[in-house]
Amino acid sequence: MLKFLIIFSILGLIVCPPVQPENKQDNGHKTVNETLENDPLLSLEYNKYLKEIVNVLETDSEFKKKIENASIEDIKSGRIAEHLSLVDPKIRTKLDEIKRMEIERLRRVIQRKAAMSNLKSHEIEHLLPKHVDHNNIETFEVHDLEKLIKQATFDLEEVDKLRREEFKEHEIEKEYERRKKIQQADAETRKKLEEQHKRSLEMRKNHERVNHPGSKDQLEEVWEEEDKLDGGDFDPVTFFKLHDIDGNNYWDEFEVEALFNIELDKIYNKTDPEFDPAERFEEMNRMREHVFGEIDKNKDRLVSLDEFVESTKSREFKQNDEWKGVDDEQQYSEDEFREYSQAHIKEEHFMSTPVNDMHLEQAHRQEDTQQHQPPPQHHQGPPQQHHQPPSQQHPGQQNQNIQAQHP
């Protein structure tokens, strides 16, 4: 079972939350189930397909044994797919059906995108998905599993980079809206808003000292304040097992992130009128990235008991350099802010023009009509490749592109 936990970690059950999580009161540890709502797999357009394939494969005892005995490199490289021939024929039939459903989903996605954006066949050729084998649209074969694992591994390794970019956009948008609100306010309200913003900045700047994530001082603070144990009795093995929520002798990224609540509360005060849960969430992710960079030596996106115990013997573990958080560094340049502002002003002007409202309404009606049309039947034989490609863009990016392409 352990290797299936690893393959799930590689294929997506790792952290990549939405930029703006719900503002929930959180006092204490987050359990694995409580953090599953931030499943990074949701950032992949083929998340349902991926999960269904892995879930079905897990039901086959022979393939499961191969997974248990495979190395992390064999899984990440896709070589484990060579053992698909061992899978029971009935299970293979289920895999075939899942693939056919995915092919149909991709066809509809591209059909809608092409209709909305006036794309020609040669313009969408390069958008052919890399997570399926287009040369066979009827059955799920070795090449399908290999491509799926490789693509998911690559995409999810890019998740943190994408998250940082989305956070930067979030910060730019928030500042733009703040300045716009002040600009549109009367003199008295403007003064109150500026004073409130100044107080919020001072509150965040003068927060309690933040321990270095993963350091001895930081973990001992958790040991004392959350685990209610004597600081002088800190024991790495006991600490690891206390925070191994599912008891599998590995810390996943959810379990590591749960260690940072005390430090995060020092920086982010929920009574602050400008408290932003997205900033707290980004801070948590950066702490998690830092700790994994120091402890996860084999880069399997899990921290084993041995890796953790070994890290506590290092010189760095006893060092406690103060953590520099999100507020301590500029998230965007003035040029980036200026570019966003100019584009936003143009978009607001465009959307406020009646003729453009009419064009947008017509486009939406056209899309709704296409969505309710029954899909065409599959034909036997090799696929028409230019009918299969999906959009590999993030859903939010698709919407932006669609809006930008209206006349």
pLDDT tens sequence across 220-255 = 999 999 999 998 899 999 999 999 998 989 999 999
What's the pLDDT at 128?
72
Q: Where does the pLDDT of residue 339 fall: very low under 50, low under 70, confident under 90, or very high at 90 and above?
A: very high
Helix and strand element counts for the chain (H, E): 20, 2
Kindly provide the residue ranges of all beta strands, DSSP E only, lying in 267-378, ordered along the sequence: 303-304
Highest mean predicted confidence (pLDDT) among 108-117, 197-206, 247-256, 258-267: 258-267
Q: What is the mean pLDDT of residues 22-33?
A: 37
What's the pLDDT at 20?
37
Which range has the worst mean pLDDT, 35-39, 45-49, 251-255, 386-390?
A: 35-39
pLDDT tens sequence across 50-82 = 889 988 998 998 888 888 787 767 777 788 889
Q: What is the mean pLDDT of residues 317-335?
A: 91
What's the pLDDT at 394?
44
Between the two ends of the chain, the Cα-to-Cα distance in Å is: 54
What's the pLDDT at 361?
60
What's the pLDDT at 196?
93
Which letter, b or e, does each residue of 99-137 get, where b requires 16 or more Cβ atoms within 10 Å of its Cβ? beebbebbbebbbbbbebbebeeeebeebbbbbbbbebb
Structure tokens at 305: 């008991």
Distance CA 130, CA 147 (A): 7
User: Over pLDDT 70: what percentage of the chain?
Assistant: 74
Q: Where does the pLDDT of residue 155 fall: very low under 50, low under 70, confident under 90, or very high at 90 and above?
A: confident
Distance CA 260, CA 32 (A): 15
SS3 call for 304: strand
Structure tokens at 188: 């008295």
pLDDT at 380 over 50: no
More confident residue, 381 or 203: 203
What's the pLDDT at 212?
96
CA distances from 228 to 29, 30, 141, 221, 287 (A): 13, 17, 53, 10, 23
pLDDT at 122 over 60: yes
Beta bridge partners of 304: 250
Q: What is the mean pLDDT of residues 133-149?
A: 90
| Positive/negative CA dihedral, 247, 252, 253, 259 | positive
Q: Tell me the average pLDDT of the chain.
A: 79
Which range has the worst mean pLDDT, 190-199, 292-301, 392-401?
A: 392-401
CB within 8 Å of 266: residues ≥ 6 apart: 207, 208, 209, 210
pLDDT at 7 over 90: no
pTM of the model: 0.62
Structure tokens at 234: 């800190």
More confident residue, 137 or 358: 137
What's the pLDDT at 123?
72
What's the pLDDT at 287?
96
Q: How many residues does the chain have?
A: 407
Beta bridge partners of 250: 304
Among 43, 80, 10, 15, residue whose Cα is nearest residue 299: 10
Which letter, b or e, does each residue of 345-359 get, where b requires 16 or more Cβ atoms within 10 Å of its Cβ? eeeeeeeeeeeeeee
pLDDT at 154 over 50: yes
What's the pLDDT at 353?
65
CB within 8 Å of 319: residues ≥ 6 apart: 212, 215
Beta bridge partners of 251: 303
User: Over pLDDT 90: what percentage of the chain?
Assistant: 43
